[in-house]
Structure 1
């Protein structure tokens, strides 16, 4: 499918391109929808195989941000940035400053923050050339690392799923298998262990697996996590882990994790429901991070207010599951339906 045809079909408003050969920068910003307010979404630093692949990725991710922000109750539309570079070997301060000028050139239609491959320090360098950036370190007046709020939001979504499936929010005694041992998983595990859960983790990075072991966490090999017998499977690494083939290995009742775009294709949501597995839509589950950074915009960051907002992920997930049960549709379809209702209300409200 041609890019412009795809944008028209999916309702995208804008795709902007910025190159700066002097610093090796090739970048894109996609703005999907601004009905609720300026687009808010992270900038991913990732070396795609081709420009076409990068463009399709940033377009797809920007639409997901529209739905995520709408469900989170934020006054922001959806956007996403992407820098085509290897974050480990090619990222430079000059590149970040140039990218900041790109963000600034859009005049506030898009507000950026960190994503895969980017850090709070990178946001500081971007902030040298644009005012439209959040996710700055605490010492710079920002909200700092959003992982704590993201992990808290995932925990709230798990509680809502438990209430729907098992009739109680208490997760004590439940086994949770986590794929990916990063900052979000670490924050999530703190809540799960306090609740009395048995936690099992894995990561493709052996160093991270060893770190988890040193902290007394049960660790399994990466290839065995999908088939591990558990109550809740929590994908917290990169996306695409759930395919029509891979879900045949699952031995869980709930899937609820922080990874973006967990479904390899939309059909997987229905296949999971047919298999009796409750899949919590990732763009609702992992909204704690964007909620956190949104509390920097136009105000002094208030962590308590951000935490209160993130706790409402429980209420939104419960509402989505109620719609799903009532209409006999997947939770993903129900979440899309609820987000579209919010966008439609915004579209018809007088300006």
Structure 2
């Protein structure tokens, strides 16, 4: 684990257990040079403890990159609570997590993420002020979706020569809070939607409300489309899945889409434009960060609108340097963090 921390330049890894509630939590703090580490809390089942720690570390690095490229005065962090099959007292579990966050003395600010909700953050807030995405602060998912939609339009312009999405075939993988909101905006823009999710109820809803075409999850990456939008969990893009892609571009909300930067190079060789995840999906972080600072909705919305512009700049650098946008974005982020 120390080797991974060194390779990602992760500052600290904190672990906590609470026998009463069954809490087993990890907080990875990647960097605090620009300000306290800010990032969501995942509440998911993991095959083993090491997988949970690796996930937290990789996600925390991505949060630092997001914050730097978005010009936010925060560092990157991430929390993971390992979900047990049976939880007797969810509120008590998140209150215990809040006490853990409080013990970090403000070095990390938590928020919602996969498996958690604003109600969970209300429980955390009973024990610490170092939390956002509470019921009062609001759910960042719609704002994350706004940023992804802007990023998809910028990607379409860069790869297809138009930001008009009407008639484009867009494959959305994952219909969670952000993924479904992205699909709604794409539908409103006239895109033809191909969707997949392990939850068939969400797929059925998309068919009824968004005229979406259902595709089996295993078949979606190889289904012909203009843009493939990964909006589920990470590591969807590996050597095998990239070889199956039949699209012009990849642009979605999922974190850690690439299993390695070599996969980004593979996309580049195939002529598939890749939108770096921590650029296109930074809308959620922008919302929680600026909301935590007390900024007005208009200011937040204006900041979200810049996501497309930042992506366009990354694409321009990538084209000029003949490199993958993923490598360009990482280099720009590291220059901002470590300069």
Range of TM-score over shorter length: over 0.9
State the shift of 1:99 in Å: 0.7
Match of 1:258, SS?
A: coil
Match of 1:268, SS?
A: helix
Residue of 269, 275, 284 corresponding to 1:280? 275
With structure 1 as the length reference, what TM-score do the two structures score?
Answer: 0.92
Residue of 161, 165, 175 corresponding to 1:167? 161
- Give the match for residue 331 of structure 1: 325
Q: Superposition pairs for residues 1-351 of structure 1, below 5 Å?
A: 3-86=1-84, 89=87, 92-137=90-135, 140=136, 142=137, 144-215=138-209, 216-299=211-294, 302-345=296-339
8 Å CA contact 2:192, 2:212 repeated in 1: no
Moved more, 80-89 or 24-33: 80-89
Match of 2:338, SS?
A: helix
Q: Give ranges in structure 1 of 5+ residues lacking alignment.
A: 346-351
Structure 1 runs of 4+ aligned residues shifted over 3 Å read 86-91
| In 2, Cα distance between equivalents of 1:178 and 1:270 | 23
| In 2, Cα distance between equivalents of 1:180 and 1:45 | 17
CA RMSD of aligned residues (A): 1.6
Cα distance change on mapping 1:60 and 1:128 into 2, 3 Å: same
Match of 1:165, SS?
A: helix
Q: Give ranges in structure 2 of 5+ residues lacking alignment.
A: none
8 Å CA contact 1:203, 1:222 repeated in 2: yes
Moved more, 60-69 or 82-91: 82-91
| In 2, Cα distance between equivalents of 1:163 and 1:243 | 25
8 Å CA contact 1:272, 1:278 repeated in 2: yes
With structure 2 as the length reference, what TM-score do the two structures score?
Answer: 0.95
Moved more, 218-227 or 40-49: 218-227
